[in-house]
């Protein structure tokens, strides 16, 4: 039996598979999957995973099933494997499908949990949201929590907050890539080579996030700590406030909810 089996091996599933192996929690050969995309299957094989021809075989040979298909096809996929999932443990990463929706789709004997990961799980720096309501056995739930904590940080949220949490941590990487790109462009405009600019910008974003997490200080305090009176940093902050960057981020999260 494989430890985990993926139904769907697209970008998010690929990031999870890569991160889980990179973290050392599981070996590549302990993970299997299936996908209708030949390219996705080829990529999984190159990473050392077992690829089955159909979802029925994945379910048959796996202890934990991870549903990683797009929301628009999920109900059709579930319908095809409904009986196969009886008495199985399932973890879903499909956007918009919470505990109550799965209760209507799955057999009463199927145990399930919904999570929302983000793409930085690929480098073991993900943010993973777990829906508080689930029907897994204690050992199944603990296996998942341990695995996810190897590829990032976890947060348990009530069902009604999963979407807003996902709008922040799930969509957030895209927003921060824009920040990195913008910071780097500003440095390039003033003569810094682009490769160095990307490195400086990315490490600065990484370091600032880690600083807040480890100190627990309010972001405003950390900002104040690096803004000397009349200095260059406060002038840069003023430019960002003039451009309504803070408001733009609030609007971005709001639109994504």
Task: Quote the distance between the C-alpha of residue 106 and its chain's center.
Answer: 24
- 10 annotated binding-site participant: yes
- 225 annotated binding-site participant: no
CA dihedral 121, 125, 127, 130 (to 10 degrees): 60
- 76 annotated binding-site participant: no
- 9 annotated binding-site participant: yes
Contact 32, 7 (CB under 8 A): no
* Residue 4 host element (H or E): strand 2-7
- 7 annotated binding-site participant: yes
Residue 195 exposed, middle or buried by CB count within 10 Å (0-12, 13-18, 19+): exposed
- Percent of the chain as helix, strand, coil, to the nearest 5: 60, 15, 25
* Residue 156 host element (H or E): strand 152-157
As a residue count, the chain comes to: 257
**Would residue 244 be called left, alpha or beta, if left means φ above 0 and alpha means ψ between -120 and 50 degrees?**
left
Extract the tokens encoding 23: 């973290």
- 8 annotated binding-site participant: yes
- 236 annotated binding-site participant: no
- 70 annotated binding-site participant: yes
- 116 annotated binding-site participant: no
- 12 annotated binding-site participant: yes
If you write DSSP's letter for every residue of 57-114 in order, what string do you get? HHHHTEEEEEE-S-HHHHHHHHHHHTTTTTT-EEEE--TT--HHHHHHHS-TT-EEEE
Angstrom CA distances, 242 to 71, 141, 200, stand at 39, 47, 24
- 69 annotated binding-site participant: yes
Annotated binding site for NADPH: 55
Annotated binding site: 7-12, 55, 68-71
Annotated binding site for NADP(+): 7-12, 68-71
């Amino acid at each position: 039996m494989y430890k985990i089996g993926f139904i769907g091996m697209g970008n998010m599933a690929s990031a999870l598979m890569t991160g889980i192996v990179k973290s050392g929690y599981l070996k590549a050969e302990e993970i299997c999957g299936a996908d209708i995309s030949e390219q996705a299957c080829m990529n999984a094989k190159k990473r050392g995973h077992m690829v089955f021809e159909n979802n029925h075989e994945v379910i048959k040979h796996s202890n934990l099933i991870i549903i990683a298909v797009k929301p628009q096809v999920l109900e059709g996929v579930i319908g095809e494997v409904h009986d196969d999932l009886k008495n199985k443990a399932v973890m879903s990463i499909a956007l918009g499908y919470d505990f109550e929706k799965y209760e209507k789709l799955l057999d009463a004997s199927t145990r399930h949990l919904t999570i929302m990961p983000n793409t930085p799980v690929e480098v073991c720096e993900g943010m993973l949201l777990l829906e508080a309501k689930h029907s897994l056995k204690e050992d199944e739930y603990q296996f998942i929590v341990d695995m996810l904590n190897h590829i990032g940080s976890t947060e348990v949220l009530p069902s009604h907050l999963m979407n807003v949490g996902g709008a922040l941590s799930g969509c957030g990487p895209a927003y921060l890539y824009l920040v990195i790109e913008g910071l780097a462009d500003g440095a390039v405009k003033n003569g810094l080579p682009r490769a160095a600019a990307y490195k400086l910008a990315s490490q600065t974003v990484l370091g600032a996030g880690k600083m807040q997490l480890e100190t627990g200080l309010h972001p405003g305090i950390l900002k104040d700590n690096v803004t000397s009176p009349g200095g260059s940093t406060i002038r840069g902050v003023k430019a960002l406030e003039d451009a309504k960057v803070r408001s733009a981020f609030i609007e971005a999260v709001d639109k994504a909810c």
